[in-house]
Amino acid sequence: MEGTMSEAIRLLHVEDSDDDAALVARELTRAGYAPEITRVQTAESFQAALDTGPGHGPQRLQHAGFNGTAALRLLRERDQPAPFIFVSGTIR
């Protein structure tokens, strides 16, 4: 196969685990994407990253009381049209 192009994708990834962050990046790359990942770990850094521009959506959210529900609420409060993907090894 000659010159396969990867599709660019921007991702705001809230993640406290280095291993899980690497797994997501690796799987996106294997799926044919060229991920540009901004990784944050708190509600404050999540909001600051959202302020930097459009095109980001959170991936996995679980850190010090900041979870997927809280991140989705922040996005809805901003009325910001961004895809929201929740990946979890443990959903309760």
pTM for the full predicted model: 0.66
- List, for residues 7-24, the tens digit of each pLDDT value: 898 888 878 788 888 998
The CATH number of whichever domain residue 44 belongs to comes to 3.40.50
pLDDT digits (tens, 9 = 90+) for 31-53: 999 999 888 888 888 888 888 75
Q: Which of 24, 53, 51, 56 is nearest to 38 (CA)?
A: 56
**Looking at the DSSP assignment, which residues form a beta bridge with residue 33?**
7
Does 18 map to a domain? Answer: yes
The pLDDT value given to residue 70: 78
Q: Could you tell me the sign of the dihedral formed by the alpha carbons of 20, 25, 26, 32, in that order?
A: positive
Its domain, for residue 23, covers: 7-78
Q: What is the pLDDT of residue 22?
A: 92
Residue 89 lies in a domain: no
Q: 55 in a domain, yes or no?
A: yes
